[in-house]
């Protein structure tokens, strides 16, 4: 499970007035933990044999190839084998929709670091179907880079006397300038630049102004490892809006990240290595069917 990258708030003795009742932060009640898929019942022998072969090839690739490189094409599997594979791998914490330049549906499986990647070109038509073993499929960062712009034409600030008081804008213009400047010099390998909007004096008008300026990008990610984390790419390359919600869908942390893909969406190398062992155990179970 991935932890919060930023503390939400400071609490402790003296942080609240003595006559004020304590307000406790509502957090997600359920933590995501690994569970083996349910045992398959009445599986068709031929489909079961195909799924065993797929898992064996996947495990071998993960054991022998560098982290991030194993890919396994599934387009040759028949419907029965695909259905059985879906049951076998299940659905994990992270889901991704890529809308451009190609439309991709990406789902992490129950085995962290193993992803199902499907490309659709028409309603109901699957153009590509594969497994990838990596932190997150490269198509995610590729889409953000290829569709993102290098600079933004910022929306005009309202003019006139007492503009700040009338419009409610406080920090949006300076924050946007910081985001554009940081995005312009960010490169792969750099740590993310994170702006924590939760801890800044940002008015609703500030947030609306920033949303209008940054716009919507081609990628949306949902991570369910701790409550819900909704991650949206913006029009500006390598700039993401990352929002954490608790189990009651209340926003508890609101950030902008300048990075290729936010860390909360990534599978860690140690989780990937654990998945090799878990896949091997699951394959042994299937071989007993």
CATH no., domain 148-265: 3.30.1370.140
Compute how many other C-beta atoms are within 10 angstroms of the C-beta atom of residue 162: 7
Cis omega (within 30 of 0) for bond into 101: yes
**Where residue 148 falls among pLDDT bands split at 50, 70, 90?**
very high
Angle made by CA atoms 263, 264, 270, in degrees to the nearest 5: 75
Task: Using pLDDT thresholds of 50, 70 and 90, give the confidence band for residue 208.
Answer: very high
- Rounded to an integer, the average pLDDT of 98-112 is 96
Tell me whether residue 114 is exposed, middle or buried, using C-beta atoms within 10 angstroms of its C-beta: 0 to 12, 13 to 18, 19 or more.
Answer: buried
- From residue 193, how far is each of 48, 116, 165 by CA, in Å? 47, 29, 30
pLDDT, residue 44, reads: 87
33-89: per-residue pLDDT in tens? Answer: 556 565 566 678 899 999 999 999 999 999 999 999 999 999 999 999 999 999 999
Residue range(s) in the chain whose domain bears CATH number 3.30.1370.140: 45-136+268-287, 148-265
Closest CA to 24 of 180, 265, 252: 252
The CATH number of the domain covering residues in 45-136+268-287? 3.30.1370.140
Query: What CA–CA distances, in Å, run from 70 to 138, 253, 289?
Result: 12, 34, 27
Decide if pLDDT at 266 tops 90: yes
Query: Does pLDDT of 12 surpass 90?
Result: no
Does the pLDDT of residue 112 top 80, yes or no? yes
């Amino acid at each position: 499970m991935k932890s919060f990258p930023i503390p939400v708030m400071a609490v402790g003795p003296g942080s609240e007035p003595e006559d004020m009742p304590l307000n406790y932060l509502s957090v997600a009640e359920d933590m995501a933990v690994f569970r083996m898929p349910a045992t398959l019942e009445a599986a068709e022998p031929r489909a079961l044999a195909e799924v065993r072969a797929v898992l064996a090839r996947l495990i071998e690739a993960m054991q022998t190839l560098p982290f991030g490189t194993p890919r396994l094409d599934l387009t040759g599997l028949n419907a029965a084998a695909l259905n059985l594979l879906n049951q076998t791998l299940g659905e994990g914490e992270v889901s991704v929709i890529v809308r451009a330049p190609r439309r991709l549906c990406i789902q992490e499986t129950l085995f962290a670091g193993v992803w199902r990647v499907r490309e659709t070109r028409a309603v109901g038509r699957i153009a590509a179907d594969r497994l990838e073993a990596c932190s997150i499929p490269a198509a995610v960062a590729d889409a953000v880079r290829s569709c993102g712009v290098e600079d933004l034409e910022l929306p005009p600030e309202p003019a006139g006397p007492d503009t700040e008081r009338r419009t409610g804008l406080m920090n949006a213009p300076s924050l946007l300038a910081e985001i554009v400047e940081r995005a312009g010099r960010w490169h792969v390998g750099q740590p993310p630049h994170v702006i924590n909007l939760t801890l800044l004096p940002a008015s609703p008008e500030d947030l609306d102004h920033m949303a209008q300026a940054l716009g919507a990008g081609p990628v949306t990610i949902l991570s369910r490892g701790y409550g819900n984390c909704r991650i949206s790419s913006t029009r500006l390359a390598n700039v993401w809006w990352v929002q954490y919600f608790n189990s009651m869908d209340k926003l508890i942390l609101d950030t902008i990240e300048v990075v290729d893909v936010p860390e909360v969406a990534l599978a860690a190398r140690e989780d990937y290595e654990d998945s090799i062992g878990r896949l091997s155990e699951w394959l042994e179970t299937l071989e007993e069917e």
